[in-house]
Structure 1
Amino acid sequence: MAAPGNDNSLPDLPEAKPVQGSRWRMQIVWLVPIVAVLIGGWLAAKAVIEEGPTITISFKTGDGLEAGKTKIKYKDVDIGVVKAVTLSPDHKRVIATGELVKDATSMLVDNTRFWVVRPRISGGTVSGLGTLLSGSFVGMDEGNSTRTRRDFVGLEVPPAIPSDVPGREFVLHSMNMGSLDVGSPVFFRRLQVGQIASYEMDPNGKGVTLRVFVNAPYDRFVRSDTRFWHASGLDVSLSPDGVQINTQSVVSLLIGGVAFESPEADAGSESPEAGADSKFELYATHADSMKEHDQIVDTYVVTFYDSVRGLTVGAPVDFRGVVIGEVTRIYTRFDPVKKQFSIPVEINLYPQRFTSRFQDGKPTGRLSAEPRQLAEFLISSGFRFQLRSGNPLTGQLYVAFDVFPDAPKAKIDWSRTPPELPTVPRTLQSLQDSLTRLLAKLNGIPFDAIGASAQRTLQSANDVMAKLGTDVVPQAHDTLSAAQSTLNSATDALQPDSQLQQNTSDAMRELARTAASVRMLTDYLERHPEAVVQGKPGGKQ
């Protein structure tokens, strides 16, 4: 309806109503920073979620380490980088801080190993040549422990055996290292089947402990009775068959090595396989390793009064060609009562070597349940110990146990520890003693008194013949004159300055010189028994 006074020709307009507007209005321009914030937050969250672990590795030196550049690799795949290199608080070591990828978290366990890979020559192997161009990096070997770890002590040398190589480790103990080193080969029937993994000095300093790794499937040939020995250099032995020279390979001549072998077992009695970390003795030679291991050992002392030059520790104790023991110690002793030196030799005897074996190969043990009574019986029967020459070329001696029917009676001194067994002198020494006794007896004969007595007897006979010359018939005069001449000649011969006396004295002097020469010969042969074969050095053969 038109308002009064308005022109009715104008149309009617709707009434305007106020509408309340929104307080917040989004401008399109704000969408850009919002999206940027969301993307940044997503990237930050992703970085946090995918961030790998941080570890520290302690090294003796920082050689080859460079912050931000030195890579950490596993099987030649980059799994991290060294972020910082600093000194330890005591300034004695270098601490490398590394960041690894997240996938490497499960590999960081207690026995995981790290080392700096650089060019290296050890044990006949060459490694790390690639770092000459690419630079050093930190190598990693995954452990198998279930305990996690983040701080590690780096190795100074790379591990010889990666943890994922199939095989078994064994522990060897030796008196010395010889020419072995980490990486030195291990041989079985002259085939390289493993290598030295590590070694360390025993806490008491009396030996060396080595760990050897034998690759599968050859590790199954290491059994509970397997023998290991040094295969370094040449093994030269002299036997009745001549000189024998053995070696494992040309490599072992240069860098050394270890070989192993199991003794021949009877049918059906093969020993079981040795488990991982089984302990074995490392012998010096193959011959030493294959010696019979005796369960019963008796220790005694045998005392010699002649020279033991040529007798060494380890020399055999022989019973008619069978080795029944060995020499363990040689020393000297002085008797203040007799004012005499002697050479006690300590020996180990193996009673089982006297006994026979059953068909199953087991030794019967001792010959008697009463070893003391048996020993007393043997000694009373004439059994003695004696030094003998084992090799005339080298002058080596051994201790022989044999029966000597003419040996003087003796008893075992059980009061000593170890007990002392009786001995007899060497054959050459016995000959020298016999000659000395003969010379002493010859020197004791009173040749001067015998000559004077003979002279008095002849003078009495001369007086008798003079009386008979005046009383007998003239027909006997010529006979008595002849007898007188004979007696005069005998008297002249027995005079102190006569030819007979001089000849007798010369003969005694020659005999004395002969005995002295024999004594010198026996002394020389005792010191140089090889002269029987080789002759005197520099002289005629």
Structure 2
Amino acid sequence: MAEENISSRDDSINAPAVVRKKERRISWIWLVPVLAAVVAASLVLRTWLLQGPEVSIVFDTAEGLEVKKTQVRYKDVVVGLVDDIHFNEDRSKVIVDVRLSRDAAGLAAPGTNFWVVRPRLGLNGVSGLGTLLSGAYIDVDAPDGAGAETKATQFEFVGLETPPAVTHDRAGKRYMLKAHDLGSLDIGSPVYYRRINVGRVISYALDESGDAVNVEVFVDAPNDRFVTEGTRFWNASGIDVQVDTNGLKVHTQSLVSLAIGGVAFAHVNPGLTQEAKAGATFELYRSESDAKANPDGDPFHIRMRFDQSIRGLAVGATVDFQGITLGEVTKISIDFDNENKRFFALVDAVLYPERLGPVYDRMRARAEAERDNTGGRLIATMIRYGLRAQLRTSNLLTGQLYIVLENFPKAKPVDLEPSEPVMIPTVQGNLEQLQQQITNIVDKIDKIPFDQIGKDLRETLSSTSRLLKNLDKSVAPEVSKTLQAARKSLDNINELLARDGSLPANADLALTELGRAARSLRSLADYLQVHPEALIRGRGDDPIPGQLRK
């Protein structure tokens, strides 16, 4: 009822018009997170655009490396950071994930080397001392210049445990040397030219054939221009001692080469002056004298059979001919002779016939005219005239042997049969002859009946002993009596010859009478000389003193 009354009273009042506003679907407050998301996305996009590639480096150990702290440097410029460190599947290696910067993406390319810089003490001194304060870091060496990569093309690398001997930014050339053995050379050993250090040894490895050692050296620019096609390298390690007619000569490059070895080179062949190309291969000679020796020409292989002991003969022993080193021993083996049932030695050697000089030149000219083998013709001719191989002693103290090729006119003729290598007949060595003579002497000594001689000697000594006993029993007493009688006789003679004895007095008187007689005879001689007639008439009267003679 009350509601009806109120509505009747308010009929004259207009009802208010209600206008509803449209509701906003998105509030302005949402702009803040949207803007934050856009900024974050832009930062992520910018970081992604600026971020470089991620590469994995395999090391033996992660010593000194820390995640998000260890830097990667190229030419002392930070180009990345270690992102993660983990093991490989069998935990034998450590894999270091490195995030490089975008500007350094080209470092992830073939030929790039990574290694950890730590304090090291090597042949060339101490390195990496700065890491004692700053900590270890990963250094990078990559090819640079016009041909360098600008984008990442490789993402897995094997890190080096030691710094490379030569980096890509070092000017110079690499050469390969083939050596018989490594000797005392090592990575970092110096390379000398005219006793100046111009490079170093950067690597070495066995040849695929296993018959040589490949030694790679690096010669710094501009000194690499002195390596020509006529250059020869030799091992300058240690001390080179030579003894010749001029006396004792000692050669060495430096004190460093004595400790860590070294390589030296020189231009030897004046006909080849063109500069050698990078990567050229040279032979590494054992000594300077071998490197500077004249070329030996084509080698000529021979083989010799010795039916005697070859103790003291070694590979590398010289083969001598008329005082000239014509070659050297290359192989020593042993074989068995089924016919004679004995072992014998086979010695292979290589000869260089060009060392014979004009003789070889004449033989070569004749052989070329007749299209024959020069070395075979020369050896066949020499064997026909008595050429034989013989072992001789080169050092009596050490017992070292060498082979000499010499003419033996009384040697048995031998027909040279074609073979490869050529078989050279041999004769018994001087030492073997001496041993045979000694053996003959010993055989003769063995034939002497020392037992019978000893028996006879014992019998003789026994007879002598019995004789001496008899002498002691029978002769010795008589000899003693005889000596006593002789002693008494001597005593009597001494008494007779004493000064106060009768014999000296009588002797003096006799001498006085003899003197008087001598004077009388002298007076008689004088008188007869004056009065020779006295011999007939006799002596006249003595003259009266003072009376004149008629």
TM-score range, shorter chain: 0.5 to 0.7
Q: Does 1:384 align with 2:391?
A: no
User: Aligned to 2:401, which of 397, 400, 420?
Assistant: 397
CA spacing shift, 1:317–1:81, aligned 2, 3 Å: same
CA displacement at 1:335 relative to structure 2:
3.5
Alignment check: 8 A CA contact 1:187 1:258 kept: yes
What is the rounded CA distance, in whole Å, between the counterparts of 2:125 and 2:191 in structure 1? 14
- If you compute each CA radius of gyration, which structure gives the higher value, 1 or 2? 2
Q: Tell me the secondary structure at the aligned position of residue 368 of structure 1.
A: helix
- Greater share of helix residues, 1 or 2? 2
Q: Which residue of 2 aligns with 1:368?
A: 367
User: Which residues of 2 match residues 23-422 of structure 1 at below 5 A?
Assistant: 39-40=39-40, 42-143=42-143, 146=149, 148-202=153-207, 207-263=212-268, 265-266=269-270, 269-339=271-341, 341-356=343-358, 365=364, 368-369=367-368, 370-371=372-373, 372-391=376-395, 395-405=399-409, 407-414=410-417, 417-422=420-425
Question: What do the CA deviations read for 1:131-168 (whole angstroms, capped 9, x no partner)?
Answer: 12211111111235658222222112111111010001
What is the rounded CA distance, in whole Å, between the counterparts of 2:29 and 2:345 in structure 1? 111
RMSD (Å), alpha carbons: 3.9
State the TM-score, normalizing by the size of structure 2. 0.66
What is the rounded CA distance, in whole Å, between the counterparts of 2:430 and 2:251 in structure 1? 36
User: Partner amino acid for 1:89?
Assistant: E
Q: Tell me the secondary structure at the aligned position of residue 105 of structure 1.
A: helix
CA spacing shift, 1:252–1:31, aligned 2, 3 Å: same
CA displacement at 1:330 relative to structure 2:
2.7
What is the rounded CA distance, in whole Å, between the counterparts of 2:55 and 2:143 in structure 1? 15
Q: Tell me the secondary structure at the aligned position of residue 331 of structure 1.
A: strand
Alignment check: 8 A CA contact 1:123 1:181 kept: no
Alignment check: 8 A CA contact 1:171 1:278 kept: yes
User: Partner amino acid for 2:331?
Assistant: R
What is the rounded CA distance, in whole Å, between the counterparts of 1:309 and 1:51 in structure 2? 73
User: Partner amino acid for 1:197?
Assistant: I
* Number of aligned residues: 417
What is the rounded CA distance, in whole Å, between the counterparts of 1:376 and 1:25 in structure 2? 116
CA displacement at 1:238 relative to structure 2:
3.4
What is the rounded CA distance, in whole Å, between the counterparts of 2:219 and 2:186 in structure 1? 16
CA displacement at 1:430 relative to structure 2:
5.1
Q: Tell me the secondary structure at the aligned position of residue 132 of structure 1.
A: helix
Question: What do the CA deviations read for 1:35-62 (whole angstroms, capped 9, x no partner)?
Answer: 7666555444433332222222122222
User: Partner amino acid for 2:156?
Assistant: D
Alignment check: 8 A CA contact 2:230 2:272 kept: no
What is the rounded CA distance, in whole Å, between the counterparts of 1:363 and 1:195 in structure 2? 46
Alignment check: 8 A CA contact 2:299 2:353 kept: yes
Segment of structure 1 superposing worse, 339-348 or 147-156: 339-348
Q: Tell me the secondary structure at the aligned position of residue 382 of structure 2.
A: helix
Question: What do the CA deviations read for 1:177-225 (whole angstroms, capped 9, x no partner)?
Answer: 3333222222222211111212334456554433211111121222334
Q: Tell me the secondary structure at the aligned position of residue 192 of structure 1.
A: strand
What is the rounded CA distance, in whole Å, between the counterparts of 2:377 and 2:363 in structure 1? 18
What is the rounded CA distance, in whole Å, between the counterparts of 2:307 and 2:366 in structure 1? 30
Q: Tell me the secondary structure at the aligned position of residue 52 of structure 2.
A: coil
Unmatched 5+ stretches in structure 2 = 1-20, 448-550
What is the rounded CA distance, in whole Å, between the counterparts of 1:134 and 1:314 in structure 2? 55
What is the rounded CA distance, in whole Å, between the counterparts of 1:86 and 1:160 in structure 2? 28
What is the rounded CA distance, in whole Å, between the counterparts of 1:43 and 1:364 in structure 2? 89
Alignment check: 8 A CA contact 1:355 1:364 kept: no
CA displacement at 1:336 relative to structure 2:
4.0
Q: Tell me the secondary structure at the aligned position of residue 103 of structure 1.
A: helix
User: Partner amino acid for 1:381?
Assistant: Y
Q: Tell me the secondary structure at the aligned position of residue 49 of structure 1.
A: helix
Segment of structure 1 superposing worse, 321-330 or 134-143: 321-330
Alignment check: 8 A CA contact 2:319 2:329 kept: yes
CA spacing shift, 1:59–1:366, aligned 2, 3 Å: farther
